[in-house]
Amino acid sequence: MENHHSLELATFAGGCFWCMVKPFDELPGIASIVSGYTGGHTENPTYDSVGTETTGHYEAVQITFDPEVFPYERLLELYWRQIDPTDAGGQFLDRGSSYRTAIFVHNEGQRKLAEASKREQQASRRFKGKIVTEILPADRFYPAEDEHQAYYKTHPFKYKQYYQGSGRNDYVRKHWNGERERQLLRSRLTEGQYKVTQLMEQEPPYQNEYWDNKREGIYVDVVDGTPLFSSKDQFPSPSGWPAFSKPLEEGFITREGGRSEGKPVTLLRSRLSGAYLGRLLFNGPEPEKLHYSVNSAALRFIPKEDLAGSRKERYASFGED
């Protein structure tokens, strides 16, 4: 589903750039993520020089993305979830001007969306203090040294230690996965949707909305609207839950190990919302034999005719590939 006909740039400063790559990496529509330095007054900054807090640079990430696949608004949503926007002196244990937060906008459209997103976050009262994250014009961006690129992949043990020890992980959990978030979800979801997506309960087979759906359209995450599956990849369910041979975009779904009745199973989650979806089985159609067995309560169906004119119109082709 990737389409790189009109790539754009997005630049975000969110404290230590080691921690700002993984949340965006390997998502559909994300072509590349580069860690680097921007917003300063010296040329060719280095990790050591920026660390002296005399160059004026921010540690930042620059993302090349396809807005048709992953809109800038969704990048902003992900960005806010990684930072403490009320901290003007750095981020978590990292103190100093190079660790300040900022959104560097590349055009007027991005500026308007960033300002609206900032107002929305302030109005949500999720944060006790005033949001101080600045919205600034994009400046010259200098890629960081090779050792700082994709640090979570090249130094996985050090990265996990740092991410946990910095306080970022605890902050993110408190503000985005705490009791307030659970109450908001309870108010938006039905009881069945909440039990499935948040408590990992399994709905009854054959007694759910989409197990035998034959209409053309797509299925999105009931929590946040992420496009997950298409009816063209749905096959007659052998188990009483909606069955798909593949997802719309591989990067929007994560797999994790679990156990059921003492046996290992592969569990499915929506990557961006964390919602539990169902299980991956291996009794599907040839040749891959993949069977994404998904709870109806985790999905919202959008008929083909309702896709026209929407951002999800790119998924509206239901002919032969």
Active site residues: 16
Rounded to the nearest 10 degrees, how much is the dihedral formed by the CA atoms of 55, 105, 23, 162? 20
Where b means 16+ CB within 10 Å and e means fewer, 22-49 reads: bbbbebbbbeebbbbbbbbeeeebeeeb
Tell me the C-alpha distance between 136 and 239, whole Å.
Answer: 53
Cα angle: 97, vertex 99, 102; to 5 degrees: 90
284 within 8 A of 233, measured Cβ to Cβ: no
Amino acid at 98: S
Instruction: Provide the 3-class DSSP secondary structure of residue 219.
Output: strand
Is 77 strand, coil or helix? helix
Identify the burial level of 260 via C-beta atoms within 10 angstroms of its C-beta, where 0-12 means exposed, 13-18 middle and 19 or more buried. exposed
Q: Tell me, what DSSP letter sits at residue 115?
A: H
CA dihedral in degrees (284, 287, 290, 296; nearest 10)?
-50
Structure tokens at 224: 């946040």
The answer to whether 289 and 282 are in contact (CB under 8 A) is: yes
